[in-house]
Amino acid sequence: MSDLHQRLEGRKPKFAIILGSSLGDVAEAVTDPLVIPYAELSGFPLPKISGHAGKLYVGKLGGKEVAVLAGRAHPYESGNAAAMRPAIEQLHNADVTTLVLTNAAGSLKTSIGPGSLMMLTDHINYAGMNPLIGTHSDADFVSLTDAYDPGLRKQLLAAAKKEKIPLKQGVYCWFSGPSFETPAEIRMMQIVGGSAVGMSTVPETIIARRLGLKVCAISTVTNLAAGIKGASPSHEETKREGAKAAGKMRRLLTRFFKDMKA
């Protein structure tokens, strides 16, 4: 296996995207792509969950050089909250400065229904894990105030407006998974101010902020969470509804990068 910077063939992406379940359509939008299987890159995970391709695409999206990770490793696959740390460190070492995270999520609000896109304004770490545990550095005491960069959030909202894509905003609640949450857990998250619930993204945000990367994140809402009328969460539903929303995510991110000053 080789390090990422050795495989870029002179390309210099400043932006990276980690794709959530069934969002491979975004990777397909990358023009003139250099495609590298994760298996050929040091530290990149081999996703074990369907809907995650396990390939890196490096090319242009919206006219900007980007690195798109089609698939992630989830903490529930191994019990390791830092599963994505080696890959994010490789991005950082290749001079990526901004990380865009996407995920599939269950909605805690009927006003944010399946098929919606929701920009993260903050998160709640209910999983009780942290990817920085055990590394013993003063730099691990990283501030998570404005973890989701206000400037990037403003640009996402502007891009959504131009594309006439409704973009909700809310607080993402991280549960470890892989089992879905109970109705009681969902009621608790509603009480404390959550908007959506999922099994990823938060550890990647913490790692990226530890490394000094700017972060923004978008959820594809694939279902209503357990206990809400009409809810029937399943992995098949997550993949099905995620694929339906992939076109909107593709348009939003293409506009986002096209309008970005860089």
CATH at 238: 3.40.50.1580
Question: Is pLDDT of 243 > 60?
Answer: yes
Q: Helix, strand, coil shares of the chain as percentages rounded to 5? A: 30, 25, 40
- As a whole number of angstroms, the longest Cα–Cα distance in the chain is 52
Model confidence, pTM: 0.93
Number of separate domains in the chain: 1
Tell me the residue type at 45.
Answer: P
CB 224 within 8 A of CB 195: no
Q: Supply the range of the domain harboring residue 80.
A: 4-259
Q: Which of 64, 66, 124 is nearest to 95 (CA)?
A: 66
**How is 33-98 classified by DSSP, letter by letter?**
EEEEEGGGBTT-----STT---EEEEEEETTEEEEEEE----HHHHS-TTTTHHHHHHHHHTT--E
Average pLDDT over residues 63-83: 94
What lies within 8 Å, CB to CB, of 108 at 6+ separation is: 173, 186, 189, 190, 194, 195, 196, 197, 225, 228
What would the pLDDT profile of 190-222 be if each residue is shown by its tens digit? 999 999 999 999 999 999 999 999 999 999 999
Q: What is the mean pLDDT of the chain?
A: 92
Q: Which of 51, 24, 70 is nearest to 238 (CA)?
A: 51
Please report which confidence band the pLDDT of residue 49 belongs to, taking 50, 70 and 90 as the band edges: low
Question: Is pLDDT of 2 > 80?
Answer: no
CB 255 within 8 A of CB 215: no
What would the pLDDT profile of 168-180 be if each residue is shown by its tens digit? 999 999 999 999 9
CA torsion, points 93, 101, 262, 62, in degrees to nearest 10?
Answer: 120
Which residues are catalytically annotated?
Answer: 21, 52, 74, 76-77, 104, 199-200, 223, 235
Report the range of poorest mean pLDDT among 57-61, 88-92, 225-229: 225-229
